[in-house]
Amino acid sequence: MAKIENIVPARYYRVVYLCTLYLLTSCGHRESEDEAFAIFRMNLPAGCATLDPAFAKDQASGWMVAQLYSGLLELDTSLQIVPLAAKSWEIEDSGRMYVFHLRNDIFFHPLEGFWNSQKRKLTAADFVYSFSRICDRNLASPGMWIFNGKVKGVSEFHSGAADHVSGFIAMDDSTFQIKLINPYPPFLSQLSMTYCLALPEEAVSHFGNEFRKNPVGTGPFRLKSWDENVSLILLKNEHYFQKQKGKSLPFPDAVSVKFISSELSAFIEFTQGRFDFINGLDESFRDELMGNDGKVKSSYSEKYNILTEPQLVVEFLAFQTNETMAGANNPALLNPKVRQAMSLLIDRKKLANLILKNSGIAATGFVPDGMPGFVSGQRQVLRFDPVLAAQLLENAGFRGGKNFPPVSLKSTAKYQQVMEFIQKSWQQAGIPCDIDNMQGPALRELASKGDIGLWRGSWIADYPDPENFMILFHSAEIPPSGANRMRYRNASVDSLFMLSVQIPGIEKRAVSFIKMEDEMLDDQPVIPLYFDQIFRLVQPGIEGMETNGINQLFLKNVRMKEGGESD
């Protein structure tokens, strides 16, 4: 008996009678029981933590809630802000007020006992509720930072001094207003995040703590079943509001998700036709897939479609710069000139080509080149200059590395090859270095406490604005307030940040942030290494498999050509 999650390669299939009935009970009317179905199948190795947008902070959860819910806005494949639930908007009061005009043809998925055959329309009040929920101190959503300190009334609501957020206003069913304390140009980009999706209050109240696995949204798909750590099945929302060239979305009838933790096992399943795409280039199968020239081997490139695109992710090394912290026990690392020397000793081009096999892009700064306004090719790869590095070390009293205190580089096992490359680069200059691998959460906790002096980090864009990266170097973001775990302080950098964030227009803002980045790199609290690339291996016959620089998953547009039949 065929089950939906075991149907072989997902193009268009003629599904056996029992599987057809399985779908018919939830997908609506079909012309015949034997009609073909489009089922897209994928794997999420990290599992899915929640289907509640308020807590969707990891990639897997974010990918899934994006299929189930809709927000005011979304990003297209070029990272441009485009309408979704909001058909249009105005920015008024010198950038302090946003007025969104909603579509009137958006309805929530069925909710038994509340609305089933009778549709429940999305209104402005749903956004007031959903955004206020994010700001509720009792919920403790990790997305509260989007509104805190920006929207009027959030701090009063969060503290309990007010029973509502005064800055969220439903003018009528189709007009939603947000009032800001001060102008903040990146705000629209932040509203495209998965935290900012619309929920019906009735469903959240009904399910309570169980809402995380009983999602009710307005997205292109709705939940059929979720067996945590095993599988998840989404079915087409027959009443979804978007169209493409006059045809209703989504195109797939169902999405079948597995949670196989081994990336190598999932890759093998893909080659056997059981998944429709593989996301990422894991070390476990990188050598099998990639040649020494950094190109995909012909045995794979001729068989599958390959999608690559720069991703807004920077991989870097970070230093503890506050000498009072426990992690700052290596006095050499407190010297900016020493940190500069350590950066100059790393050949980023060689790292990208030899170790990463071109799956990464040699860093030109801290903000990735794929960022709007940061045009690739206008900035040079960060300098590799062992001669200048030796001079800086000598000036700091460490000629040839003599008397340099041993360096402990904290990382995770996943990056072992990269860390060994850096270790060798420093050792050749006389800098003693050992690699200490630990679990990612433990590493981040130690860095937040200031208990380590040098560690490997990654920063992934939440939204496509350079502010999202440069905020790490603002002194107001020092823990516990933010993610400036380096505890870096520079009054000039702080001033440049506050100036840059107020500039309207992302291109102009980017120019200002580049100046801030240059000044920050003179102090070298971090050593940028490389920018990640999105890499997707896709089965032939899959069309419309698109993404963007923040690696979003667009499944509503995916088309699958007619292929074979199911087992």
Specify whether 339 is located in the same domain as 415.
Answer: yes
Does residue 390 belong to any structural domain of this protein?
yes
Query: Are residues 385 and 510 part of one domain?
Result: yes
Q: 3: pLDDT confidence band, cut at 50, 70 and 90?
A: very low
Q: How far apart are CA 136 and CA 158, in angstroms?
A: 6
Domain boundary among 212, 230, 245: 212
435 domain-assigned: yes
Give the chain's radius of gyration (CA, Å). 25
Q: What span, in angstroms and rounded, lies between the C-alpha atoms of 344 and 358?
A: 21
Are the C-beta atoms of 214 and 207 separated by less than 8 Å?
yes
Last residue in a domain, options 170, 186, 212: 212
pLDDT at 377: 60
- Taking residues 256-265, report their average pLDDT: 95
Instruction: Give the global pTM.
Output: 0.87
Match 């309207």 to its residue by tokens.
504
Q: What is the pLDDT of residue 2?
A: 33
Please say if the pLDDT value at position 406 is more than 60: yes
The answer to whether the peptide bond before residue 83 is cis (omega within 30 degrees of 0) is: no
Closest CA to 70 of 127, 120, 138, 115: 127
pLDDT at 370: 85
Are 360 and 459 contained in the same domain?
yes
Is residue 1 assigned to a domain? Answer: yes
Cα distance between residue 397 and residue 218, in whole Å: 63
Contact between 474 and 486 (Cβ < 8 Å):
no
Q: Say if residues 122 and 69 touch (Cβ distance below 8 Å).
A: no
Is 337 among the domain residues?
yes
- Domain-embedded: residue 556: yes
The verdict on 22 and 140 lying in the same domain is: no
- Nearest CA among 485, 520, 481 for reference residue 318: 485
* Cβ burial, residue 209 (10 Å; 0-12/13-18/19+): exposed
pLDDT on residue 239:
93
Residues 15 and 102 in one domain: no
User: Are 336 and 354 in a shared domain?
Assistant: yes
Contacts of 494 (CB under 8 A, 6+ apart): 474, 475, 476
Give mean pLDDT, residues 12-29: 39
Report which secondary-structure segment, H or E, holds 388: helix 386-395
Q: Residue 479's Cα: distance from chain center in Å? A: 22
Q: CA 416, CA 155: separation in Å to the nearest integer?
A: 43
Q: Does one domain contain both 46 and 81? A: no
Provide the b/e sequence for 351-388 (b: ≥16 CB within 10 Å): bbbebbbbbbbbbbbbbbbbbbbbeeeebeebebeeee
Q: Residue 117 has what pLDDT?
A: 65
pLDDT higher than 90, residue 69: yes
Q: Strand 247-248 to strand 243-244: parallel, antiparallel, or no bridges (unpaired)?
A: antiparallel
Please say if the pLDDT value at position 556 is more than 90. yes
Domain boundary pick from 190, 212, 234:
212
**What's residue 114's pLDDT?**
86
Q: Which residue has the tokens 């020493």?
A: 338
Span 281-304, mean pLDDT?
A: 87
pLDDT above 90 covers what percent of the chain?
79
Question: The domain spanning residue 268 has which CATH number?
Answer: 3.40.190.10
Question: Which residues, listed in sequence order, are joined to residue 528 by a DSSP beta bridge?
Answer: 316
Q: Which of 270, 223, 224 is nearest to 41 (CA)?
A: 270
Whether residue 28 is predicted with pLDDT greater than 60 in this model: the reply is no
- Cα–Cα distances (Å) from 332 to 24, 275, 337, 485, in that order, read 68, 50, 9, 19
> Both 124 and 248 in a single domain?
no
pLDDT, one tens digit per residue, over 311-353 is: 999 999 999 999 999 889 999 999 999 999 999 999 999 999 8
Same-domain pairing of 106 and 166: yes
Query: Which range, of 30-34, 89-93, 169-173, 277-281, averages the lowest pLDDT?
Result: 30-34
What is the mean pLDDT of the segment spanning 272-298? 88
Query: Residue 431 to residues 244, 390, 425, 452: CA-CA distances in angstroms?
Result: 58, 11, 9, 18
Residues 6+ apart with CB under 8 A from 440: 412
Calpha distance 141→65 (Å, rounded): 15
Residue 562: per-residue pLDDT: 55
* pLDDT at position 413: 92
The enclosing domain of 161 has a CATH number of 3.90.76.10
**Quick one: tokens of 111?**
């909710």
How confident is residue 374, by pLDDT bands cut at 50, 70 and 90?
confident
142: nearest Cα among 182, 196, 96: 196
Reported as a single tens digit per residue, the pLDDT across 219-243 is 999 999 999 999 999 999 999 999 9
Question: What amino acid occupies position 146?
Answer: I
Residue 287 lies in a domain: no
437-490 pLDDT tens trace? 999 999 999 999 999 999 999 999 999 999 999 999 999 999 998 999 999 999
pLDDT of residue 21: 34
Q: What is the mean pLDDT of residues 60-80?
A: 96
Instruction: With beta carbons less than 8 A apart as the criterion, state whether 384 and 409 touch.
Output: no
Give residue 36's pLDDT.
Answer: 64
Residue that has been written with the tokens 């073909």 in this structure:
36
The reply to whether 162 and 260 lie within a common domain is no
CB atoms within 10 A of CB 243: 9
Mean pLDDT value of segment 291-317: 91
pLDDT in tens, 96-139: 999 999 999 999 999 888 886 678 999 999 999 999 999 999 99
Tell whether 51 and 140 lie within a shared domain.
no
Looking at residue 363, the DSSP 8-state letter turns out to be: -
Of 388, 395, 389, residue with least CA distance to 430: 389
Does residue 271 register a pLDDT over 60?
A: yes
Checking if the pLDDT of 23 tops 90, the result is no
The number of beta carbons lying within 10 Å of the beta carbon of residue 216 is 24
Please give the tally of structural domains in the chain: 3
Which pLDDT value is given to residue 383?
Answer: 96
Q: Rounded distance, CA 556 to CA 80, Å?
A: 18
Look at residue 300 and tell me if it is in a domain. no
Q: Is the pLDDT of residue 281 over 70?
A: yes
What average pLDDT is seen over the chain? 90
Mean pLDDT (whole number) for 42-55 = 95
**The pLDDT of residue 115:** 81
The whole-number pLDDT of residue 429 equals: 96
Same domain, 378 and 468: yes
Tokens of 302: 């001729």
The pLDDT tens digits of the residues spanning 131-178 come to: 999 999 999 999 999 999 999 999 999 999 999 999 999 999 999 999
Per-residue model confidence (pLDDT) at position 184: 94
Q: For residue 367, give the DSSP letter.
A: S
The answer to the question of residue 299 being in a domain is no
Domain range for 371 is 310-532
CATH number for the domain harbouring residue 522: 3.10.105.10
Rounded to whole angstroms, the Cα distance separating 384 from 100 reads 49
> pLDDT tens across 477-534, in order?
999 989 999 999 999 999 999 999 989 888 888 888 999 999 999 999 999 999 999 9
